[in-house]
Amino acid sequence: AQQPDQLWGKNAEAGKSEKAKWFTEAKFGMFLHWGPYAHFAGDIRGKRYYGITEWIMHRDKTPAAEYAKLAARFNPTEFDAEEWVDIAKASGVKYIVLTSKHHDGFAMFDSKVSDFDIVDATPYKKDPIKALAAACKKAGIKLGFYYSQFQDWHEPNGGGNSWDFDPKTKDYSSYYKNKSLPQITELLSNYGELGIIWFDTPGNMSKEESSAFLEKVHQLQPNCLVSSRVGNGLGDFKDFGDGEVPAGIVKGAWEAIFTHNDSWGYSAFDQNFKTPKEMIRLLAEVASKGGNLMMNVGPMGNGKLPAMSEQYFRATGAWLKRNGEGIYQTSYAPIPAQPWGVMTHKPGKLYLHVFNRPHNGKLLVPGFTGTAKKATMLANGQAVSLQQKGKDVWLNLPATLPDERNTVIAIDYTGKLEEQTTA
In the complex, least distance from residue 377 CB atom to ligand H79, rounded to whole angstroms = 36
**Dist CA 287 CA 351 (whole Å):** 11
Asked whether 405 and 341 are in contact (CB, 8 A), the reply is no
Check residue 264 for interaction with ligand H79 (CB under 6 A): yes
In the complex, least distance from residue 31 CB atom to ligand H79, rounded to whole angstroms = 7
**Dist CA 354 CA 338 (whole Å):** 9
What 3-state class would DSSP assign to 248?
Answer: coil
In the complex, least distance from residue 200 CB atom to ligand H79, rounded to whole angstroms = 5
Asked whether 145 and 97 are in contact (CB, 8 A), the reply is yes
Return the DSSP state at 159: B
Q: Which stretch binds ligand H79 (CB under 6 A): 40-48, 51-59, 165-173, 374-382?
A: 51-59
Residues 104, 200, 236, 285: which binds ligand H79 (CB under 6 A)? 200
Check residue 55 for interaction with ligand H79 (CB under 6 A): yes
In terms of CB distance, is 133 or 256 closer to ligand H79?
256
Is beta strand 371-377 parallel, antiparallel or unpaired with respect to 383-389?
antiparallel
Residues touching ligand H79: how many (CB under 6 A)? 10
In terms of CB distance, is 92 or 298 closer to ligand H79?
298
Check residue 418 for interaction with ligand H79 (CB under 6 A): no
Query: Around 82, how many Cα atoms within 13 Å sit in the side-chain half-sphere?
Result: 1
User: Nearest 5°: CA angle at 118, between 116 and 123?
Assistant: 110
Check residue 54 for interaction with ligand H79 (CB under 6 A): yes
Check residue 171 for interaction with ligand H79 (CB under 6 A): no
Check residue 201 for interaction with ligand H79 (CB under 6 A): yes
Element (H, E) at 187: helix 181-190
First to last CA, the chain: 7
Q: Which stretch binds ligand H79 (CB under 6 A): 15-23, 52-60, 134-142, 331-339?
A: 52-60
In terms of CB distance, is 204 or 420 closer to ligand H79?
204
Q: Identify the bridge partners of residue 274 per DSSP, sorted by sequence position.
A: none
Each residue 204-243 as x (binds ligand H79 by CB under 6 A) or -, in order, gives: --------------------------------------x-
**Dist CA 145 CA 299 (whole Å):** 15
Check residue 244 for interaction with ligand H79 (CB under 6 A): no
Check residue 266 for interaction with ligand H79 (CB under 6 A): no
In terms of CB distance, is 27 or 229 closer to ligand H79?
229
Q: How far is CA 53 from CA 102, 221, 330, 363, in A?
A: 11, 32, 35, 44
In the complex, the residues that contact ligand H79 under the rule CB under 6 A are 52, 54-55, 58-59, 200-201, 242, 257, 264
